[in-house]
Amino acid sequence: MDTLLVALMLLGGRSVTVEAVLARDSTLLLPAGEVAALLGTGAPIAPWVTVRDLSRAWPTVAFTWDARALVVYVSDPLAVLPASREARARGDAQARGATYIPRSGPFAAFTGDDRGRSAWEGGYSYKGRVAVTARRTVSGASWGLSVAPSSALFLSYYDGDRMRPMASARIAAGPAWLSATWQNGAAALDALLALPHVAVFASSRETFAVTLTAAPVGVQVGRSGGRIAARVTYGPVPPSPFVVPQVN
């Protein structure tokens, strides 16, 4: 399995970059906790989620995985996701010339199916800055805490009966981006410096990449798995600076 940095883009809303895993059968495994934080959904019961799982859970939402650009696009035209409703409320307030103030308060939901199985979830959100969520199903219980004091900082922690504790932090300042994750007793650190036409990415997993772009041409040189590789691209889609060129 390969580890990738993938961008999750909620169209019309926020976007985040997460550390995902590409299985041998080409299935993309996304960190369920960070996906839930972006979409505004309850605490996950499992540490990983696939695009297919998301499509099944939210049939009216389009989840599109662009493997070349390393981006998962989330299109929610009906605003069924909590994050989409918040983004729409913010846009409506701005259109009226008003200041958008995120609401605070508890939330809860109950789900049942024709097999007699049920799921309870709930929590509390404070002005879109802090959220505590919990979920319980026949598979067990899980809970999570996310904190976003500003657009430049995001912190999260998730734990549960059938998942190991997972913590993450992201800091963005101008052209610099730093992400740290901790799970299974191991920590990983990723950093990116993106300047016009030049981007440098480095990871504690002994991986790095330098990306040069002059549209429509892109050139990448990187090291992963003890090997150095180079990649040249041409076209309207620039290469992702999070991608380390390699030949499997």
pLDDT at residue 31 greater than cutoff 50: yes
Q: Average pLDDT, stretch 122-145?
A: 81
Question: Of 42-56, 86-100, 169-183, 205-219, where does mean pLDDT reach its minimum?
Answer: 86-100
Q: How many whole angstroms separate alpha carbon 84 and alpha carbon 102?
A: 13
Which has more confidence, 146 or 2? 146
> Over the stretch 140-152, which tens digit does the pLDDT of each residue have?
888 888 887 877 7
pLDDT at residue 120 greater than cutoff 60: yes
Average pLDDT, the chain: 81
The pLDDT confidence band at residue 93, using thresholds 50, 70 and 90, is low
Closest by CA position to 242, among listed 213, 216, 208: 208
pLDDT at residue 17 greater than cutoff 90: no
The pLDDT confidence band at residue 125, using thresholds 50, 70 and 90, is confident
Q: What does the block give as tokens for 37?
A: 């934080």
The pLDDT confidence band at residue 200, using thresholds 50, 70 and 90, is very high
Task: Please report the pLDDT score of residue 100 as a whole number.
Answer: 46
Give, for 38, the enclosing helix (H) or strand (E). Answer: helix 32-39
Query: Rg of the chain over CA atoms, in angstroms?
Result: 19
The pLDDT confidence band at residue 66, using thresholds 50, 70 and 90, is confident
Q: How many whole angstroms separate alpha carbon 230 and alpha carbon 193?
A: 19
pLDDT at residue 161 greater than cutoff 90: no
Sort 248 into a burial class: Cβ within 10 Å, 0-12 / 13-18 / 19+.
exposed
CA distances 131 to 38, 44, 80, 170, Å, are: 12, 14, 19, 16
Which has more confidence, 164 or 218? 218
